[in-house]
Chain A
């Protein structure tokens, strides 16, 4: 190997910039990474949800306080994000179960079902947001 070739700098990892602006992740890829992100988010948020369940069942006064707390806009927004995370995780999970059975693995169907995951989970989030408040 010539010294020049040995010295040649080769990229070892992708910069954040490349990841965000240069690589266009296909839609099934977005479903997949968001399945992970939503799962992790739900796991760490569980402490907050359990706290609300705990308070809401402890006494009538505490129940009313939680009801008021849940009507504050930042709390509503956070809850809506978690509703989205849960919906996305369930929809992507159902899609995954079909992939396990070798259903929908051709490119065209895989793209279509990815779109369906986004449409159903975002639509459901909007519906529940409208229904609950």
Chain B
């Protein structure tokens, strides 16, 4: 059997990962919404204190890790659908991966400063 190289996995993993990571991000969004709508005036002290809590750092990192995986599957699907030349598509996929790695690294830097 000959396969067209698309850069994708061929299993259930991505499909499942897309849904699990989405759920994790949805839960984090609800927490964020509660904080925003709690009526607490968001000053620098409150903001800084929130992001120095251990649970908030871990939750935010978990959110970003989920986003990284979720965005990779999503962006790759878009590239596979619309970018037909193999070379260009693979280049863009590598760029996407590098961007995701940079986003993750930056997030860790912001959280554990």
Q: Is B78 an interface residue (CB 8 A)?
A: yes
Chain B interface helix/strand/loop/mixed: helix
A39, B74: Cβ atoms closer than 8 Å: yes
Of the residues A46, A60, A90, contact of B103 by C-beta under 8 Å: A46
Q: Is B90 an interface residue (CB 8 A)?
A: no
Segment among A9-17, A23-31, A47-55 that sits at the interface with chain B: A47-55
Q: How large is the interface on B (under 10, 10 to 19, 20 to 34, 35 or more residues)?
A: 20 to 34
Chain A interface helix/strand/loop/mixed: helix
Give every chain B residue within 8 A of A36 (Cβ-Cβ): 78
Q: Is A56 an interface residue (CB 8 A)?
A: yes
B75, A90: Cβ atoms closer than 8 Å: no
Q: Is A40 an interface residue (CB 8 A)?
A: yes
A97, B107: Cβ atoms closer than 8 Å: no
Bits for B9-31, please: 1 = Cβ < 8 Å to A, else 0.
00000000001001000100100
Q: Is B97 an interface residue (CB 8 A)?
A: no
Q: Is B40 an interface residue (CB 8 A)?
A: no
Give every chain A residue within 8 A of B106 (Cβ-Cβ): 50, 54
Rounded to whole Å, the gap between the CB of B16 and the closest CB of chain A is: 10
A50-B78 contact given A57-B48, A64-B44, A131-B37, CB 8 Å threshold: no
A124–B47 CA distance with the chains assembled, in angstroms: 23
Give every chain A residue within 8 A of B113 (Cβ-Cβ): 57-58
Which residues of A are interface residues toward B (Cβ below 8 A)? Answer: 36, 39-40, 43, 46-47, 50, 53-54, 56-58, 60, 63-64, 86, 90, 93-94, 97, 100, 131-132
Sample of 9 A–B contacts (CB below 8 Å): A39-B71, A43-B74, A50-B110, A53-B110, A54-B106, A63-B44, A100-B19, A131-B37, A132-B36
